[in-house]
Amino acid sequence: MTDPLPAVLFLCTHNAGRSQMAMGFFRHLAGDRAIVYSAGSEPACCVNPAAVAVMAERGIDISEAQPQRWSAEVVEAVDVVVTMGCGDQCPYIPGRRYEDWELSDPAGRGIDDVRPIRDDIEERVRRLLSELGVTAPPR
C-alpha cells in the first residue's frame, strides 16, 4: 500500500491573487504527486488580471481559475493549510498543520509590483513541496 498524496489548501481573503498564484505554482511543480486547493473567506468575482499576467510570464495559466469560498470539507481533507492575510476569517481545525505566509496583497497593483509577490510565492511553494517530500523540477 502506498502513502496517500500530500494535500494543501491555500487561503486568502478574496482567492483572487496570492492563493491562486500559490495553487498555480504548486500544481505546476508537483504535478500528480500532490493535491492542491485554494479558496477565500470573501471570494472575488474573478482572478486578479495582474496575477494572471505574471503567472503567464512563467508559463503557468491561471486565467480559468474561479475564486471560491472555503468549505469545512476541504479544510478537513488537507494536511497543510496555508493562510495569506485572511486573519480570523480563515478556518482553524485542530490537528491540521497551519502556516501563515505574510505576503503583500496584489489587489490594485500593477504587473511590476506583482512580480516580486509572485517570486516570493514560488520560493515558499518550492520550500513547502520539499518539506512534503515532493521533488519539484529545477528552475
Q: Based on the residue annotation, tell me whether 46 is a catalytic residue of this protein.
A: no
**Catalytically annotated residue among 36, 90, 128, 132:** 90
57 CB neighbour count, 10 Å cutoff: 10
Q: And the C-alpha cell for 1?
A: 500500500
- Catalytic site includes residue 90: yes
Are residues 82 and 22 in contact, defined by beta-carbon separation less than 8 angstroms? yes
> 106 near 41, Cβ under 8 Å?
no
Exactly one of 8, 11, 12, 114 is catalytic; name it.
Answer: 12
DSSP code per residue over 58-110:
TT---TT----B--HHHHHH-SEEEEES-GGGS---TTSEEEE------TT--
The catalytic residue positions are 12, 86, 90
